[in-house]
Amino acid sequence: MKNIAIFASGNGTNAERIARYFVDDASVNISLILSNNPNAGVLQRAEKLGITTYVFDRQTLNKSNDIVSMLEDLEIDLIVLAGFLWLIPQNILESYPNKIINIHPALLPKYGGKGMYGHHVHDAVINSGDSVSGITIHYVNEKYDDGQIILQKEVAVTKSDTAETLARKIHNLEYDFFPKVIEEILKK
């Protein structure tokens, strides 16, 4: 069995989609959902799905090995960042080389980096006048949105799009492709 840990900071729609995608697959288990936000919607979603959760602070993430120990105890094979807004510290990167992936709501390298998440990304795309946007699924390294790209998918940006309508288009791409990419990585 392949065990997945999902890190999320917000509402958790991608985390829920991933969990539901694998619900009937006996070879994959969403073992844990971790969040830095005790009020994150992802925690309620995880509870409804019967997935164990763990809430941590910056000190626990960056100044201890508690999370690495927990992930190792659960025999985690892949870490998935699904709307997680903090950098992953070196101890986790070293323990899980090429085993941490992220999804970004734009076509990297454009519109990436610290502070570029959610509506900030979509506002930037709309304000730039770009005719396409999309998603980037990539491996995680020590910098925001900088790791090796696994997959990019585009969507048209029309003159009538707003940040909200673009976000809906992007979410549809995320929901369609993120679980499939995870599945492919787990087969390797």
Catalytic center residues: 104
User: Omega into 109 within 30° of 0, i.e. cis?
Assistant: yes
d(CA 103, CA 152): 10
157: three-class secondary structure by DSSP: coil
Query: First-to-last CA distance in the chain?
Result: 13
DSSP symbol at 144: T
d(CA 67, CA 84): 15
Which run of H or of E encompasses 113?
none
d(CA 101, CA 7): 10
